[in-house]
Amino acid sequence: MSRKRSASPTLGDVAELAGVSLATASKALNARGEVAAGTRRRVLKAAEELGFQHNALARGLTSGTTRMVGLITDELGGRFAIPILLGVENALGDEQMSVLLCDARGDAIRRRHYISTLVARQVDALIILGDRNDVRPSLSADIPVPVAYVYAESDSPDDLSILADDEGGARLAAEHLVSLGRRRIGHITGEETYRAARDRAAGMAAVLEEHGLSPAGGGALYGAWSQRWGHQAAGVLLSAEPGLDAVFCGSDQIATGVVEGLRDLGRRVPDDVAVVGYDNWEVFAAECRPPLTTVDLNLQHLGATAVRHLFGALNGEQASGVVRQPGRLVIRESTGPAARPH
C-alpha cells in the first residue's frame, strides 16, 4: 500500500491533451464563461480522461482561499463537542469545505499553538468550541480570519458567540411540569461551578416564581453530573419533601439515577413523580425506564449556525455579538399524565 505519490496529472497535462494553453484549460475547468463551448468540452474530456483533480495547495496559493475551516475543541472526549462538530462538518460539506481539527485538551498554551498552526495553514475561518458554557477570554486578537466561539462565550463583545439557551431550555422543562399540574417540583443538577448548572437552575426558579410556587426541598440540589448523584439526591429530596411530585434534572445521566432512586424508594415514575432530564442523550434518555422527557439543546444545529455566520463574515457581513439558540422539549413517558389529579 505504500505506493509513492505517483505523479498526479497537472493542469498542464490536461491542457496538453486537450491541445490548449494552461490559461484556457484553467478557465474551462472553472467555468469562467469566456471559453468556446467546443474547447470547454475538449478540456473537460481530457481532465476526465486523466482523472485530473486541482491541486488544492496551488489553488489556495493563487486564489487566496483554502476552503478549510479550523476547528479547535477543548475536550473532544466530552459530551458536547461531537454533536457540534457533526453539525459543523455537515454544514461545511454542503459548501465543499473541509474541517481541520485540533483538540486543545483544555490547555491554553496548546490552544494558542493550534491557532497559529491553523492560521499558518491559511484556514478561511476558525471555530473555537468550548466544553462548558462559561465565559472565556477572547482569543481573536491575533487571528486574521473570522472566528466563531461556540457553546462557550467569548468575553469580548466584538466577537461572535453562538450559544445554547440553557435558561430557556430549563424554562421549557419547568413550564411543562407546571402545565401537567405538578406543584412540588425539585431540581437535582450537577456541579455549581458550571454556568450550565446555574443557568438551568435560574430558568427553573423563574418559572416556579411566576407561578407562585416554591422549589421542593428549598432550592436546587447541586452535586455531580452522574447517575450516582442522581440516585443519592433522589433520597435526599424525598426526605426533605415527601409530597414531591416532580423533579427536573440537570442532565439525562442524573435523571437516570433519579428515576432509579425514586423506584428504590417505592415511588412510581411518572405516576407519583414526574421526571425531566436534560441533553436528550439517546443512550440514556431513550433507554431509561420509563424513557425520559428531556430538553434537547440542538447542538448539531449550533454548529450549523456557526458555519452560516462565518460565511456571512467571509462575505463581509458584520458578525459579532451573542446568538442564543433555543432548545426544545422532547416529551417521553417519564412525564406521562399524572395518575393522581391535583
Partner DNA sequence: CTGAAAGCGCTTACAG
Residues in contact with its own copies by CB under 8 A are 1-6, 8, 51, 53-58, 60-61, 64, 66, 68, 76-77, 82-83, 85-86, 89-90, 93, 96, 98-103, 116-122, 140, 142-147, 158-160, 226-228, 231, 253, 257, 260, 283, 287, 289, 313-314, 316-320
How is residue 219 written as a grid cell?
A: 432550592
Alpha-carbon distance of 175 to 148, in angstroms, equals: 32
- DSSP one-letter code for 145: S
In the complex with DNA, the residue whose CB is nearer, 52 or 281, is: 52
CB of 18 to DNA, least distance (A): 9
Residue 90 CB-density burial (10 A; 0-12 exposed, 13-18 middle, 19+ buried) = middle
How is residue 235 written as a grid cell?
A: 433520597
CB distance 202 to 170 below 8 Å: yes
In the complex with DNA, the residue whose CB is nearer, 64 or 341, is: 64
- DSSP one-letter code for 129: E
Q: Segment 30-69, which members bind DNA (CB under 7 A)?
A: 30, 32-36, 38-39, 52, 54-55, 58-59, 61-63
- Count, residues near DNA per rule CB under 7 A: 28
In the complex with DNA, the residue whose CB is nearer, 10 or 156, is: 10
Strands 328-330, 294-296: pairing is antiparallel
CB of 50 to its own copies, least distance (A): 13
CB of 125 to DNA, least distance (A): 18
In the complex with its own copies, the residue whose CB is nearer, 219 or 321, is: 321
In the complex with DNA, the residue whose CB is nearer, 38 or 212, is: 38
11 binds DNA (CB under 7 A): yes
List the alpha helices (DSSP H) in the chain. Answer: 11-18, 22-29, 37-50, 56-63, 81-93, 108-120, 166-179, 195-210, 227-240, 252-264, 282-285, 299-314
Helix (H) or strand (E) holding 71: strand 68-73
CB of 115 to DNA, least distance (A): 17
CB of 299 to its own copies, least distance (A): 11
Strand order in the sheet with 246-249: 221-222, 185-189, 246-249, 274-276
289 binds, among DNA, its own copies, none (CB under 5 to 8 A by kind): its own copies
21 binds DNA (CB under 7 A): yes
CB of 215 to its own copies, least distance (A): 26
140 binds, among DNA, its own copies, none (CB under 5 to 8 A by kind): its own copies
Residues lying near DNA in the complex (CB under 7 A): 7, 10-12, 20-24, 26-27, 29-30, 32-36, 38-39, 52, 54-55, 58-59, 61-63
